[in-house]
Amino acid sequence: MAALGWLTPRRRSATARSVLAGEAAAEAARKTSAEDESALLTRAPEQAPEEPAFPVAGDDRAAAFFDLDNTVMQGAAIFHFGRGLYKRKFFERRELTRFAWQQAWFRLAGVEDPEHMQDARDSALSIVKGHRVSELMSIGEEIYDEYMADRIWPGTRALAQAHLDAGQRVWLVTAAPVETATIIARRLGLTGALGTVAESVDGVYTGRLVGEPLHGPAKAEAVRALAAAEELDLERCAAYSDSHNDIPMLSLVGHPYAINPDTKLRKHARALDWRLRDYRTGRKAAKVGIPAAAGVGALAGGTAAALALHRRRR
């Protein structure tokens, strides 16, 4: 399971640690997606609706990057993973109560609070220390079916499918453990996932992180590193998130989207004329700009190919 908190001394600057976390996430994502790429490329769309202006079909230098918590899935992945571990007696009830409080805060506040997120990841790191990576991956598959599958936002999944149908790669980018994120990406038919990387030695978790949690600026570094490695053109890429903490990532791409946005992101998105979509009530946000092909009903099959991105900053 990937990393979850600032547990190592700050021997590097925050920027250097963000770069390290981003590069580690990109490397892990490329390794996990390579095995699935050939299978994804052989899929064919179930139907060929009228092509929307965006995403551009056949653009193999474009990709899409989706935040996970409250963008693709209701709630926080780390909380749901914690519930599954508690069910399997990985920790005591007091720790579950702690996870529950963090999830309640997340739902009420509607934003990712760094202090609460760090607390959750500190707890998770201590819980998985000494366990094998393969063990947690196997358990993660079960936990997805038990607690996560029914919490995927249909609208956001349809947006991801629109990119896949256009022949573009789609990546999750999340502070959740990379192993958990990879499972979710695979279950949704996405290309892969960038997530927090927890250190392991000989397949056993040490309880430490590689860099820092993939949060805020670290997400932007991960996307930048992956784009460079995959020869993607960021100006032609899209990014989706609910949180103002992801403004650095959203600002990297030519097509930023605010999905179920918190107050700060909504204000920022409107000021910059970014596209918005809110699935929490089923209503459209002020500026929609989402192609009809990405409607809630368009959820089936598609091809994943494409690649691309060249660095861009605003």
**Positions marked active-site:** 67, 69
Smallest CA-to-CA distance from 36 within 214, 202, 182, 149 is with 182
Question: How many Å apart are CA 202 and CA 11, to the nearest integer?
Answer: 25
- The answer to whether 285 and 302 have CB atoms below 8 angstroms apart is no
Token pair for 191: 């290309």
Give the helix ranges, DSSP H, for 129-233. 133-143, 154-165, 178-187, 217-230
Question: How many Å apart are CA 272 and CA 256, to the nearest integer?
Answer: 10
Decide: helix, strand or coil at residue 127.
Answer: helix
Lookup result for tokens 């992101």: 265
The string of DSSP letters for 40-69 reads HHT---S--PPPPSSSPTT-TT-EEEE--B
